[in-house]
Amino acid sequence: MRILVIRPDAIGDVVLMLPLIATIHATYPEAEIYTLQQPYTIPLTQYHPHIHAVIPDWRKMGMAKGVLGFRRYVAHIKSYGFSMVFLPYNDIFYTLLVTQAGIPFRIGDRNRLTLSPFLTHTIGQSFRNLMWHETEQSARLIWAIRPDVPLQSSMNLVVTPIMIEAADALMTDFELIPNQFVIIHPSSGGGNRAWLKEKYAQLIDLLVAQGITPVLTGVTPNEIQGLADIRALTTQSPVDLGGKTTLEALMGLIHYAAVVIGTDTGPTHIAAALHTPVVSISPSKFVKPLRWGPWNTHHRIISHAFECQIRCKPGCKKRDCLLPISPQTVLEAIESLFQLPHVPPATLDRREWLKTSVHHLVLVSDESSLQAAGQFHRQLQEWGATVTLATTSYGLRKRVLAHTSLNKRQIAVLPMWNVWAILYFLITRDIGMIHLQTPQWVFRWIRHLSALGQYAPPVICEHAVGEMPTDRMVGMMYRAFEEGVLTG
């Protein structure tokens, strides 16, 4: 049996697809697995132990233009005799391609309403459920046809002798010592925002002062220019490899690096796949570490996104989410990872992702819950979460002030009759979880409206607020994301 997996987009997306490959292989160990990718990403997978061959995408190569080009592409795919195709990346072009090629089992996302009629097996990919990482979202496609199989988490990214040789040549030229340098990839793949150039320059100076060699990487003309801009702001000289690395050489360098620093983009995902520790600078509220954070490696997430009180949307040019991230904080994160071995953690712990991905709102709606709400608010803060306490009236706020050490500016007032004020608050503060002592119908209704302005609408926990064991609290959060509204 031959199985095709469609992933013709960027480096990071291909890396995050790899647990799907592992899951398919574990389910159908005798099958030949092929992937369809952009040519420049092929080094990522051409030596993968579970991938039989990689098919370069004719569309990205400009070979499938027009009706005749598309028909030739259909014939090309059909010639492989695939029995099954998985579409973690899906648009109308690839859906029609595999349908016209006559692949019997076509597996993809049920929620793509215009495309799902062309698929034979579908599963709803819950992109607004933050408890599913992007790797798991892809791997879950197997459940459309085999709901009984466990998902695999391994990536099996291979660093070949050719990659090591290419990295060794660069390391010799620039006098780099294995595990004594860090890689900084300042640019962003486009989803998240890139940290400020002046902040990267300050970080470089701090690293050099600590005896750590910073290595800058980038490939495109814009990335290379960005590295030059950063260098111009430093007082120390980093190693600038802008435009000097192939993908193979970059993978070899990441294998040798002590830590990789950047946003959730291709090089940081490669680092995670190779178990090289990662410091992920994630400024934006729009991109959640729970969904896109470093997978299955030691890492630190640096984010002050919730200090920004502007609606978060792609293309924003304001600096409110970028300025609070200090170079000293990033340096401390690097130092905490610097000597760690390149091995996966013993367990997958989502708690750190929860702390940086979810802004909690604890609502006081009556006087009976004042003390318990204050205790729960304090527990969330001590755990490390971002949390806001709110009341439904100014009178209740006065009573809260009498029972806590908070000041007026730290307590929001959200009258139940003022729906638009509540909606504005949820969107601009990017509230991800609402804790209610008693059910409030307005929040159940308004959470769906807030989806228009948030990456993921808030989930609701209706429970007796108050101190509780941490494991119970975290388990409650997991269930809330699965159910949307958790009662009891």
Residue-level pLDDT, tens digit, the chain, 488 residues: 999 999 999 999 999 999 999 999 999 999 999 999 999 999 999 999 999 999 999 999 999 999 999 999 999 999 999 999 999 998 999 999 999 999 999 999 998 889 999 999 999 887 677 778 999 999 999 999 999 999 999 999 999 999 999 999 999 999 999 999 999 999 987 678 889 999 999 999 999 999 999 999 999 999 999 999 999 999 999 999 999 999 999 999 999 999 999 998 999 999 999 999 999 998 887 788 888 889 999 999 998 877 777 777 767 788 888 889 999 999 999 999 999 999 988 777 778 788 888 999 999 888 877 888 888 888 898 988 999 999 999 999 998 888 777 888 889 999 989 999 999 999 999 999 999 887 778 888 888 888 888 888 899 988 766 667 778 888 888 888 888 887 76
Pairing of strands 386-391, 411-413: parallel
Task: Give the domains, in start order, of the chain with CATH numbers.
Answer: 2-144 (3.40.50.2000), 164-347 (3.40.50.2000), 358-487 (3.40.50)
Q: Identify any residues that bridge with 54 across adjacent strands, giving them in sequence order.
A: 35
Residue with tokens 């989803």: 191
CA distance 186 to 161: 27
Distances (CA, A) of 425 to 113, 240, 389, 431, 485: 31, 43, 12, 8, 19
Tokens of 92: 């109308």
- pTM score, two decimals? 0.92
- Within 10 angstroms of residue 252's Cβ, the number of other Cβ atoms is 26
* Cβ neighbours of 312 (radius 10 Å): 23
Q: What residue spans of 247-320 are helical by DSSP H?
A: 247-256, 266-273, 289-292
Contact status, residue 283 vs residue 195, Cβ threshold 8 Å: yes
For residue 360, the Cα-to-chain-centroid distance in whole angstroms is: 20
Name residue, tokens 């002030």. Answer: 401
3-state helix, strand, coil in the chain (%, to 5): 40, 15, 40
Contact status, residue 377 vs residue 362, Cβ threshold 8 Å: yes
